[in-house]
């Protein structure tokens, strides 16, 4: 996945993985599910498309490669997730296209479906009809490809019900039987999405959904930054991201088995966009306001530095480099405006850039300046 939010998603996943790996009980492992919704009600621009599904599959692939590069793949793995609901958006064909895109890009990593079965029959309401067709729900949650159902089964019956029942669970039991009758086998549920054990308090509407303290703090932090006006200047975007990270690092991500506090973030936690060292293709992460050509990646004093050759949007002649570091980002124009530059060679921490008509420039990464 690319775009202005892709880097933030990767950083969030990596932070969680780092916290878990540093504080988990010996021998335990976690499967982190990074999910999306088809919620076009809250977000009219929701990108429920095949292309977005492919991008999300690629994101999950990159995250597992990152875990392997840190030798923690035995403790941490990543999978995609999908919360598709009729009340969010009624076009199930868009959901099917998204699933197809994900499976095509990353079929070896299961997609966990944790949507609902709105309106489907249950023991209490046997004559109801699913808002999406029952076969469509089976299709997107199980039979379409490498998809594993992990459905919402929030208990909608009072605690006094005798015998204890869950209308949502009954809906999925009937869908599983229908799948078997259709010849696509019974569904292999990986579990059920329930919030009962998450907190001690009971929320409204008979659904156990009162957020725990850490969850509430994260939600408040996200709401604060989502309410901010969008930015176009990359340096301002970077500063805002750093401010968000500082706030996130203050959220207690759980106590270790021995009672120790979660570890603080280190520069290694910021290596979200550091790929292979040396000269490589244009950066995957979108750089608002700039058109990238290619980039050089290296380590300066033990910290990652990316020098991307870019041209500002609207400028046809002024090339330069965008220097990205853990704590800042800045554009440095070339001494002469000769058009887009390409990084052609690196000699230690000195880069050679060449313009379209052969003009050559030298950039000293240590000094962060053209020489």
DSSP 150-199: --B----S-TT-SS---HHHHHHHHHHHHHHHHTS--------B--TTT-
CB neighbours (10 Å) of residue 108? 10
Q: Which pLDDT belongs to residue 165?
A: 61
- pLDDT above 90 covers what percent of the chain? 17
Mean pLDDT of the chain: 75
- What is the distance between the alpha carbons of residues 295 and 249, in angstroms, rounded to a whole number? 29
Six-digit token string for 194:
């329930």
Q: Tell me if 38 sits within 8 A of 46, measured CB to CB.
A: yes
Q: Which pLDDT belongs to residue 257?
A: 30
Among candidate residues 115, 154, 106, the one with its CA nearest the CA of residue 138: 115
Beta-bridge mates of residue 34: 80
pTM, whole model, 2 decimals? 0.54
β-strands 369-370, 360-364: how paired? antiparallel
Q: Tell me if 313 sits within 8 A of 289, measured CB to CB.
A: yes
Beta strands in the chain (DSSP E): 30-37, 76-83, 111-113, 147-149, 278-281, 290-300, 303-312, 320-324, 329-333, 342-347, 350-354, 360-364, 369-370
Residue 42 has pLDDT above 70, yes or no: no
For residue 208, with 0-12 CB atoms within 10 Å meaning exposed, 13-18 middle and 19 or more buried, which class applies?
middle
Residue 324 has pLDDT above 60, yes or no: yes
In this prediction, residue 93 has a pLDDT band, given cuts at 50, 70 and 90, of very high
Q: Tell me if 282 sits within 8 A of 308, measured CB to CB.
A: yes
Angle, alpha carbons 194-198-203 (nearest 5°): 80
**Cα→Cα distances 91→58, 81, 136, Å:** 24, 18, 11
Q: Which pLDDT belongs to residue 162?
A: 60
**Mind spelling out the 3-state secondary structure of 198-219?**
CCCCCCHHHCCCCCCHHHHHHH
Among candidate residues 169, 161, 175, the one with its CA nearest the CA of residue 192: 169
- What is the distance between the alpha carbons of residues 24 and 181, in angstroms, rounded to a whole number? 43
Query: What DSSP designation does 110 have?
Result: P
Convert the pLDDT of each residue in 169-208 to its tens digit: 788 888 888 887 888 777 777 777 765 444 444 443 444 4
CB neighbours (10 Å) of residue 39? 16
**Choice between 187 and 131, residue whose per-residue pLDDT is larger:** 131
């Amino acid at each position: 996945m690319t775009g202005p939010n892709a880097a933030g998603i990767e950083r969030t996943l990596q932070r969680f993985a780092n916290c878990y790996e540093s504080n988990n009980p010996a021998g335990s492992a976690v499967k982190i599910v990074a999910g999306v919704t088809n919620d076009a009600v809250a977000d009219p621009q929701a990108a429920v498309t095949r292309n977005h599904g492919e991008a999300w599959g690629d994101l999950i692939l990159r995250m597992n490669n990152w875990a392997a590069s840190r030798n923690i793949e035995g403790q941490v793995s990543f999978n995609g997730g999908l919360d598709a609901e009729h009340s969010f958006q009624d076009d199930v064909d868009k959901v099917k296209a998204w699933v197809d895109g994900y499976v095509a890009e990353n079929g070896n990593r299961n997609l966990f479906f944790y949507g609902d079965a709105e309106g489907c029959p249950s023991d209490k309401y046997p004559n109801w009809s699913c808002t999406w067709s029952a076969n469509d729900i089976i299709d997107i949650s199980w039979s379409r490809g490498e998809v594993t159902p992990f459905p919402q089964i929030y208990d909608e019956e009072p605690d006094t019900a005798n015998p204890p029942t869950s209308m949502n669970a009954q809906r999925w039991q009937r869908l599983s039987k229908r799948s078997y009758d259709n010849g696509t086998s019974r569904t292999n549920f990986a579990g059920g999405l329930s919030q009962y054990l998450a907190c001690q308090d009971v929320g409204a509407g008979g659904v156990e959904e009162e957020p725990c303290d850490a969850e509430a703090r994260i939600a408040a932090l996200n709401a604060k930054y989502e309410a901010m006006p969008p930015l176009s200047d990359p340096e301002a975007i970077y500063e805002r991201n750093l401010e968000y990270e500082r706030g996130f690092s203050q959220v207690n991500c759980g106590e270790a088995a021995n009672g120790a506090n979660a570890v603080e973030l280190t520069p290694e936690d910021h290596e979200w966009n550091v790929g292979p060292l040396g000269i490589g293709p244009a950066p995957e992460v979108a750089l608002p306001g700039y058109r990238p050509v290619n980039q050089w990646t290296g380590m300066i004093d033990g910290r990652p530095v990316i020098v991307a050759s870019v041209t500002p949007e609207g400028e046809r002649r002024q090339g330069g480099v965008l220097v990205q570091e853990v704590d800042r980002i800045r554009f440095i124009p070339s001494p002469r405006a000769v058009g887009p530059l390409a990084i052609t060679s690196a000699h230690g921490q000195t880069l050679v850039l060449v313009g379209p008509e052969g003009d050559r420039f030298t950039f000293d990464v240590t000094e962060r300046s053209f020489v």
